Chain A
């Protein structure tokens, strides 16, 4: 297993957002995480990438409520649940966050360079940049544009490109199609398939179940912080209750 989550629980104050959850991904898979709003999908990705632990550290010093994290996360054979968020990316795990969140006042190129912040080898950086440009020619056309002025679709490409600049083994993407026009959604999904074909393992959160199930090898359905079903798209769609209650189809 490339990523293995075992018995993970996350509390924000008294609310238990992740409830003794276990899951895993093998190298080379494209796996989706689906489920209703508030199921804990984003929290799960934030816990895996160290952001929950980071938030716990900074809120410990303020007056906000308490965050608790239990269980283990193993990546590439090493436990990472105690590793600070900023050290996780160098192990080959990165999150492309919800709402894209480019560095809005920085140029496209600076955004991409921030993605390869930890890479020391300049040739490696140039190599990654070329690959990202090949995947997203729209970014190559205007490296100096301030990213806040890009369209939503372009910002999504930038956010994915920025994540790819770190040369990840596992790319987690949180709701890439939100707020995009149907045509752009299709393009984003096509790019994600393209990234998967390059040999990068992908964990994808998405609301648009019907499209995603055609791309993925396996899917997890999340509800109330628990995994309530797992399987290929076809398997999950055969379950009437699941379809109606959790997938909205």
Chain B
């Protein structure tokens, strides 16, 4: 029974985190066909941002979160302007540029903070015992915040004019152009939104994890697996795929012997299986030939 609750909590939390990451990643891919390998590196930078503001400067974690989201979103837009926008029509080059960007972030963080493991304080302390299992308030907060952010994103996409522009551009940017939608501006705004989501994810997750310069690797692999499972470019697919993988990971970690070491291989196995059996994923998007 305890094990079941552990699995459910762990699955829900990692599922929500993967969902946030994968949806941000899918968003910029859908709109601008940018495969942003640096997506989780932005999440890592956000985590360090919070560390600096709380541990080094001594502010409340909430300020750390605000600073992280603002600064990392700015960093994302600047990176886009400088490194991605000039080569935007050259998809292979963009892919390489984002890998380089991720490595650069990792090395810079390594130089500043060394490779040692760091942590940040929880936003709320304490726990509640549910059926004999300790559930930390921070875990509940992370899960609640993730759902809230997803709902907010849904409203933004479906209920606002910016959302209409983002969806139209993702569908057919040439026709979006005809309708008066400035697709270059939409791409930049989407990049900001996408990186902002990565930062936000970092902000709500960092109290539950350990900081180190390579912390972007595991989420990157999971996020890629989620996106492949859900179908590249499909937000609905990313959402569902994230929870499927979140629970798959939790099951292996808690049930398989030495399961924690198998974490990464679960995602990769699912990824390979999906690519073999159904390459377009659960909700594969067929692309217009113009793209």
- Please give, as numbers and ranges, the residues of chain B lying within 8 Å of A54 by CB-CB distance: 174, 177
A38 to B: closest C-beta gap in Å? 18
The residue on B at minimum CB distance from A90 is B180
B182 within 8 A of A: yes
A101-130 at interface with B (beta carbon < 8 Å): 101, 103-106, 110, 113-115, 117-118
The prevalent SS among residues of B at the interface is helix
A62 within 8 A of B: yes
B195-243 at interface with A (beta carbon < 8 Å): none
- A75 and B104 CA atoms in complex are apart in Å by 49
- A84 and B181 CA atoms in complex are apart in Å by 11
B89 touches A105 (CB 8 A): no
B179 touches A89 (CB 8 A): yes
Q: Mark contacts of A140-163 with chain B using CB atoms, 8 A cut-off: 1 yes-contact digit, 0 otherwise.
A: 000000000000000000000010
A63 within 8 A of B: yes
A89 touches B180 (CB 8 A): yes
Partner of A63, one of B90, B161, B175, B178: B90
B179 touches A117 (CB 8 A): yes
A82-111 at interface with B (beta carbon < 8 Å): 84-87, 89-90, 94-95, 97, 101, 103-106, 110
Partner of B174, one of A51, A84, A117: A51
Q: How many residues of chain A have a CB within 8 Å of chain B?
A: 31
- Please give, as numbers and ranges, the residues of chain B lying within 8 Å of A101 by CB-CB distance: 172, 174-175, 288
Partner of A114, one of B87, B90, B164, B183: B164
- A173 and B122 CA atoms in complex are apart in Å by 60
A47 to B: closest C-beta gap in Å? 13
A51 touches B178 (CB 8 A): yes
B236 to A: closest C-beta gap in Å? 10
- A118 and B164 CA atoms in complex are apart in Å by 12
A166 within 8 A of B: yes
B168 within 8 A of A: yes
B179 touches A114 (CB 8 A): yes
A61 touches B178 (CB 8 A): no
B161 touches A117 (CB 8 A): yes
B55 within 8 A of A: no
Partner of B180, one of A61, A97, A104, A118: A118
B168 touches A114 (CB 8 A): yes
A85 touches B177 (CB 8 A): yes
B178 touches A49 (CB 8 A): yes
The residue on A at minimum CB distance from B167 is A106
Q: Mark contacts of B149-178 with chain A using CB atoms, 8 A cut-off: 1 yes-contact digit, 0 otherwise.
A: 000000000000100110110011011111
Whether A62 contacts B90 in the complex (CB less than 8 A), given A103-B167, A103-B171, A117-B165, comes out as yes
Partner of A61, one of B88, B164, B175: B88
9 tightest A-B CB contacts, nearest first: A62-B89, A118-B180, A103-B171, A89-B180, A85-B177, A86-B182, A114-B168, A61-B89, A86-B177
| A interface list, Cβ under 8 A from B | 49-51, 54, 58-59, 61-63, 84-87, 89-90, 94-95, 97, 101, 103-106, 110, 113-115, 117-118, 162, 166
Q: Name 10 A/B residue pairs within 8 A (Cβ), A-sorted.
A: A51-B178, A58-B89, A61-B86, A61-B90, A86-B176, A86-B177, A94-B178, A104-B171, A106-B168, A114-B168
Q: A58-B88, A85-B178, A117-B165 are in contact. List 8 more A-B contacts (CB 8 A).
A: A58-B89, A61-B89, A87-B180, A89-B178, A101-B175, A103-B171, A104-B171, A166-B180
